[in-house]
Chains A and B, each alone.
Chain A
Amino acid sequence: MSATTPAHRPHPEDPREALLVLADGTTFEGEAVGAEPPDGVATGEVVFNTVMSGYQEVITDPSYAGQVICFTYPHIGNYGVSVDDDESRRPFCGGVIVRALSRRPSNWRAHEDLNTFLVRHGVPGLSGIDTRRLTRHIREAGSMPCAFGTAAETTLKAAALAEPGTDGLDLVAGVTTTEPYTVGQGPLRVVAYDFGIKRTILRHLGRMATVEVVPASTTAADVLARRPDGVFLSNGPGDPAALGYAVEAVGQLLGEVPVFGICLGHQLLGAALGGSTFKLKFGHHGGNHPVRRLADNSVEITSQNHSYALVEGSIPQTELTHVNLNDGVVEGIRCSDVAAFGIQYHPEAGPGPHDARYLFDDFELLMRAGPTDGLELEL
């Protein structure tokens, strides 16, 4: 590997010259963009995302809390940023790494350019990076902590080593809503756990139901007191194993009310059903993963963003409904006994293809059938 590692930078040509340093010591050259991080050092666990469009939705997806997102597509920011495309109230990611940040966006939907957006929201970034080299490195070595910025290489290296990663951390607490709120006007009643919920999910649920969004720490009793037709478990950041309280609540809800979980919500459902989770080497982050729907053997192209997954076969009494065709990872489960199902990927698609939106219809059918009659539904 011919990594360019300048030992020192006495006279930078450009004050924005910056470095990315991974926890294993690998360094990359680029220029600082976005917000200036405190002391010129930004940190997080670096992951790569392979979408070619949808950077704003990715950056504002709370599931990226604690992570630095490396986009594999080189030009990022081309069509600017639109208030309609935010997936949450603000970005929670630790930073953004790109090959070429577009300075002049062009799209009728754009309200501002991406750099301004990053600065406004305090998200540091790095441009000009050989993102393919970074991606290949992560693919081989796995997702790992990193630090980047205009600080000296030694400072960045120390910061990368000090960065904790995501294992065993409750990152949900930092992104969930503090107060319950209601969205949507559909005829059904859904209580949605906000572990870091995306707005596109709420838009889908809101069409069929009046959705009460509740903090991650809400107890099962509190949820049931709201007399929902169904409970939704949202996506969110980090390690499901660190969320014992949520697993406990989900366990108490099962059988009482139909449950649908997406991504982290799916993992929590699996955990509540007795399953275990593991961390993938570099996760699934992109918009092109083929998933087989076992009910009819059809293939759907899915939007994915997860670093953890359920261990196949670890969950008693549960049926595998969807499987990733690239690597066989569990992508969907159903437990007929308790009218619950979970999907590892993002059927709401924000960003990404719309192939799996039928799953929201399935949730609606399940709710209409009630907690015990939905057993025969083909998901």
Chain B
Amino acid sequence: MPRRADLRSILVIGSGPIVIGQACEFDYSGTQACRVLKDEGYRVILANSNPATIMTDPDFAHRTYVEPLAPDVLAAIVERERPDAVLPTLGGQTALNLAIALAEHGVLERFGVQLIGANEQAIRTAENRERFKAAMTEIGLSVPASGFAHDMDEALAVGDQIGYPVIVRPSFILGGAGTGIAASRADLELFAHAGLAASPVNEILIEKSIAGWKEYELEVMRDCADNCVVVCSIENVDPMGVHTGDSITVAPAQTLSDVEYQHMRDAAFACIRRIGVDTGGSNIQFAVNPEDGEMVVIEMNPRVSRSSALASKATGFPIAKIAARLAVGYTLDEIRNDITGETPASFEPTIDYVVTKVPRWAFEKLPGLSEVLGTRMQSVGEAMAIGRTFPESLQKALASLEHGRWGLNCDPGEAALDRVDDDALLARAAVATPDRAFQLEACLRRGITVEQLAASTRVDPWFLDQISLIVEERRRLTETAGPAAMSRRAWRRAKRLGFSDAQLAWLWGTDESTVRATRLGLGVAATFKTVDTCAAEFDARTPYHYSTYEDEDDVRQGDRPKVVILGSGPNRIGQGIEFDYCCVHASFALRDAGFETVMVNCNPETVSTDYDTSSRLYFEPVDLEHVLNVIDAEGGDGRLYGVIVSLGGQTPLKLAGQLPEGLVMGTSPAAIDLAEDREQWGSLCARLAIPQPAGATAATVDEARAVTARIGYPALVRPSYVLGGRAMSIVYDDDDLADAMHELSGFGSLGREGGLSAERPVLIDRFLEDAVEVDVDAIRDRSGEVVIGAVMQHVEEAGVHSGDSACVLPPYDLPEPTVRVLEDYTRQIADALTVVGPLNVQYAVKDGQVFVIEANPRASRTVPFAAKATGVPLAKVAARVMTGATLAGLRQEGLLRPPNLGSHVAVKEAVLPFDRFPDFDTMLGPEMRSTGEVMGIDTTFGLAFAKSQIAAGDRLPDTGTVFFSLADRDKRAGLGPAVRFVELGFSLNATAGTAAFLEANGVPVDAVVAKVGDRSGGVDAVDLIANGKVQLVVNTPRGRGPRADGAHIRKACTTHNVACLTTVAAARAAAGGIADWSQTGLRVRSLQEFHAESQERLAL
């Protein structure tokens, strides 16, 4: 059937901010959907609150609403745009839930809007576990014994009836929040409580636990003619019991016989048909009992999912693109397979390699939390690797994580396990944690048998035996004297098992470059194979490659000059989608400018790893060995123009100094080092007469003490060469300082990445309390011209990591002369560093004086936000400048335009993962903890701020009670916001000290609240929050430990979903937002309209 002609405009719903369980994969899917629908001639309307996404580029849709993803906002967009259809299956659970809400509220019916992709009935059947179970039973598929509960009594009755252990899963949630395995009645009570609260419909499923069974997923597509295909099968290395997002997973399935696989395939088709997903992709999870093959269906997602992104990257089959086409009426056989160009999409990819995905956790950001993995997803990102065999892909995947590991052990990081005895190690391996893969290898290396290990971990013996191959090869390598003693066959054998040069160098006590040179001397070089969906049966056109050690290379070179763009690797806190945005923009801009672009990255969620984003894609770890391999492969014909290292965050930047001379484009490696080198940087600032907070470097505790003795407390302590404020802290006295240095010196998380050394000292600066922080993004070209991209004022004061702070463009209360000074300093720094390309400078403004905190000659996290707010494609401009263009030239070309500011204000707000980690204090600090960001855009700062809060999940109240609890140093500053709330008609509650201060200053306080836990004093703040008596909390931290009062208050807010502001600045902004909101209410407008209006104003 051809494309539907009855539809003209389609609303695509995105997935909002990056959160645990919902990451860049939906930027990938949404971007593909928007592109396809636009190409098909539909008018595309996009709603997504996440400014860091590619899809929210104004080019990808006709109308781009960077507005909060809330039902009332969506309804307003529908009312304004009157789309013919809504496509909700490419924006994760968020989009699906919103579509259901629109249906429930009658919005779809009122405006005559159809749901396409999945219908309401199908979504409800798939998402409601009771209905799902009934549906599966109806078609003869087994599901684990289970029952539903809507309150505690019901929960315990069901648990008793099924028998423990049981697994608890709340209905209508994403990523497994609130799920867990209860081994006993007492456990169940805990989990049921959390689960009932987590479910928006207060419903939980209690299910017989099948922990330890083998876990599989099938990615299935169906078209409107009922043709079904399996795109990919995935097998989890971690058995049932660990969330699939936290599991090491492998494609295709490895240990299913064809009889079992086809049985599963039949079941998957029966499932998608029964659920009634009319068109598009679905993901169906199965568990298989390894003892007898019994198969049960676990769950089904009636939409594109994280696994779909993985399956797309694993096979080359563009699920999202095809799902979008199917949604508008095409059938699979009408769509061509991009990769072969000749065969239709109605086939099942077959692959001739193994794909391994390894999750990336952020426990180093959340110290003190248990690292035990379970049914609730905790990872923040993932890396994928492709190899011809499982051992090769596993080692490459682990090297891709950038966790300081170079493969599966055989590196300095393995020392941590050396101290553990065999029994303890085996016991540890039985519990799933981020270290499990390394423990498995260590166990096997010590002679623990595959059988023993399989019995205690339930990891399938096949995987363990494959790891044994790595262990055996290591033994052989250990017996080899060194690189010179290796034969060609021996090199090939080691490299085919995925050993990195760095691992081999460590093993032999030599350096990586010697290993590489010796190996290449014997002709053992990486060969690049192609991901082609068909195992080479047909000629593939798509330039999507991975390295391995084989006879033959498949890569077809083009004939234009080439630029290699190094990506940012797996998502983590501090380095996420923003950098992928920059890399993708660079690729687009450089392709437009006539270059062949070559992308190197290993993150399967991203747009950068789509095979059609760049001229060629190398799906490889972004580390020295693999990047050099790509450079060798691309450099042979003399057309390699250069390598871009400054758009992918810290990952590629760290490689700058090690790449072949002259290849790094833009700012020189020497200048990059200069900006990182404390002393050189200090003297540069001194020479430019730009004030810095006093400070120095230290490599030992004694040196650090000497520094603080000179500069005084409080001081900011941070390691060099890290992003996202890793291990950064504010210290108030010598004890704090000693703790911080200890954390940095090798015992803490940073130790894994090499710890402290003279080359990597700690930076210690005087901390400027109550200063305003400002970020400036700029671009300098080779002629020396500097363009200021954006000056962004933070809402939270200095000391809160810039990534966790709300920030505002244009600045909302910086005097014009201060802005001039900021711009001037930025220009001077750019010149002094001879930056060619992007530059981000962070400043603190205290009492009108501007201090420079740091400068990074690379694209910053704020680039996409600034681009969305101003309409200036900063990343594209930066990429062009680095490859030789001048700003003047780009202006002439029309790529560089003046910023569209003047008629709107944009606020970027951070989105924090605390709902996943209820035991963790939500207090903000210098260590970045946010996983994502949202943007609010409107005509005033207050409105934009209010929108940013809704988008971040904390809707500001319009009436009710505000609870105030202020630290002493914040009391005076807090007066203003308190007055404002009273004027807006709110009543105030406060703790005794705060209440006394407010009343003494003439602000009425309705109730004084007892200290937390002090029952003699009546209700405490936690009670108020729990009972819904408080609509907003302003709690600025006083103590610094989690035991403090504030920690309980903030935790209660997280649990009961009450907006909690932890800084006075945020309270001030919130009061302003509520005030403006009460005047105007909700108004939605697209980016295109905001920009057009600003341009008109500019033209006048």
Contact = CB atoms under 8 A, between A and B. Distances in A.
Contact of B265 (A99, A350, A353): A353
Contact of A292 (B293, B333, B487): B333
Contacts of B735: none
A353 B490 CA distance: 40
B348 A301 contact: yes
Contacts of A360: none
B346 A299 contact: yes
A286 to B, nearest CB: 6
A180 interface: no
Interface in A131-173: 131-133, 135-136, 139
B333 A299 contact: yes
Interface string B1039-1059: 000000000000000000000
Most buried by B among A14, A28, A72, A105: A72
Contact of B344 (A48, A106, A290): A290
Interface string B258-286: 11111001100000000000000000000
Contacts of A79: 255-257, 462
Interface string A288-329: 111010000111010000000000000000000000011000
Given A13-B490, A75-B354, A290-B347, A299 B552 contact: no
A78 B256 CA distance: 8
B226 A50 contact: no
A299 B229 CA distance: 10
Contacts of B257: 53-54, 56, 79, 82, 85, 107, 109
Contact of A290 (B342, B346, B354, B462): B346
A83 interface: no
B465 interface: yes
B390 interface: yes
Nearest to A103: B465
A104 interface: yes
A286 B347 CA distance: 12
Interface in A92-136: 99-100, 102-109, 130-133, 135-136
Nearest to A54: B258
B262 A290 contact: no
Contact of A353 (B262, B353, B538): B262
A225 interface: no
B884 interface: no
Given A289-B347, A325-B346, A74 B389 contact: yes
A130 to B, nearest CB: 4
Nearest to B332: A299
Contact of B348 (A17, A48, A288): A288
Contacts of A132: 352, 388, 529, 535-536, 550, 552, 554
Interface stretch (A1-9, A210-218, A230-238, A365-373): A1-9
A50 B535 contact: yes
Nearest to A53: B258
B551 A325 contact: no
A136 B536 contact: yes
B227 interface: yes
B464 to A, nearest CB: 8
A351 interface: yes
Nearest to A72: B535
B536 A301 contact: no
A353 B347 CA distance: 11
Nearest to B487: A13
Contact of B462 (A29, A72, A104): A104
B552 A136 contact: yes
A261 B258 CA distance: 24
A287 interface: yes
B290 A108 contact: yes
Given A133-B552, A135-B535, A325-B333, A78 B255 contact: yes
Contacts of B344: 290, 299, 325-326
A57 interface: yes
B298 interface: no
Interface in B238-261: 252-261
A286 B293 contact: no
Nearest to A288: B348
A139 B351 contact: no
B347 A301 contact: yes
A52 interface: yes
Contacts of A297: 225
B258 A352 contact: yes
A72 B262 contact: no
Given A13-B489, A75-B389, A107-B255, A131 B352 contact: yes
Contacts of B554: 132, 136
B258 A74 contact: no
Given A74-B352, A75-B390, A349-B262, A288 B536 contact: no
B349 interface: yes
Contacts of A350: 258
Contacts of B346: 290, 299, 301, 325
Contacts of B225: 297-299
A290 B490 CA distance: 42
Contacts of A379: none
A241 interface: no
B634 interface: no
Interface in A47-77: 48, 50-54, 56-57, 72-75
B138 interface: no
Nearest to B532: A132
B292 interface: yes
B553 interface: yes
A279 interface: no
Interface in A12-67: 13-14, 17, 28-29, 48, 50-54, 56-57
A75 B350 contact: no
Interface in B721-740: none
B535 A73 contact: yes
A326 to B, nearest CB: 5
A300 to B, nearest CB: 8
B426 to A, nearest CB: 19
Given A2-B552, A72-B352, A325-B346, A99 B389 contact: yes
Contacts of B343: 290, 325-326
Contacts of A109: 257, 259-260, 293
B973 interface: no
Contact of B350 (A82, A287, A354): A287
A75 B534 contact: no
B347 A108 contact: no
Contacts of B468: 104
A78 B460 CA distance: 11
Interface in B27-72: none
A271 B835 CA distance: 75
Contacts of B550: 130, 132-133
B710 to A, nearest CB: 61
A74 B261 CA distance: 18
Interface in A337-356: 349-354
B759 interface: no
Nearest to B388: A74
B924 interface: no
Contact of B227 (A48, A286, A298, A353): A298
Given A107-B257, A301-B229, A100 B389 contact: yes
Contacts of A72: 350, 352, 535-537
5 contacts: A99-B352, A135-B536, A290-B346, A298-B225, A325-B333
9 nearest A-B residue pairs (beta carbon): A54-B258, A104-B465, A351-B258, A72-B535, A106-B462, A133-B552, A130-B550, A130-B551, A288-B348
Given A52-B351, A73-B535, A326-B344, 14 more contacts: A2-B552, A13-B490, A48-B535, A53-B252, A53-B261, A54-B258, A74-B389, A106-B465, A107-B257, A132-B529, A136-B554, A139-B536, A325-B343, A349-B262
Interface of B: 225-227, 229, 233, 252-262, 265-266, 290-293, 331-333, 342-344, 346-354, 388-390, 450, 460-462, 465, 468, 487, 489-490, 527, 529, 534-539, 550-554
